[in-house]
Amino acid sequence: MDTMNRNKAELFASWERTMRQFARLLLVCLLFAGCVAPPSADRLASMKKQGDGIIAKIEAFQAEKGTLPTSLKEAGVENYQTPNGPWKCSTKDGEIVLFVGDYATDQFEIWWEPVGHNWYVDT
């Protein structure tokens, strides 16, 4: 009888350790999921507003110099950080595309296209 009780106790202790490990793993997963969720509508609106200021500086640079800047810094943009990393730009057909976020890592992308002068968001 002692052996049977000891085996039950060991089995219960093993099950209890497994459940604690599972609970820790679940907690980490839930915390991680909250960290990589796409930004709220308010944060996207804030990023668009910041981006509008950057676009204004790029357009002013282009109007003054007759060419696109080679970097955001050259356009006079000093603060181009967001909670999801820095704004980036690339040129496309003689126009500039401004963007932030990476769908694979940030769960969203937001970019400004010169054609139509519109913001696009993918969440």
Residue 100 has pLDDT above 80, yes or no: yes
Contact indicator for 37, 107 with CB cutoff of 8 Å: yes
Candidates 36, 34, 46, 32; CA nearest to 87 is: 46
Distance CA 20, CA 69 (A): 56
Residue with tokens 């694979």: 104
User: In the chain, where are the structural domains located?
Assistant: 1-35, 41-122
Per-residue pLDDT tens over the stretch 9-46: 777 778 788 878 877 876 666 555 555 567 888 888 99
- Residue 52, pLDDT score: 94
- Specify the DSSP element, H or E, that contains 48: helix 41-65
Per-residue pLDDT tens over the stretch 61-84: 999 999 989 889 999 998 788 888
Model-level pTM? 0.67
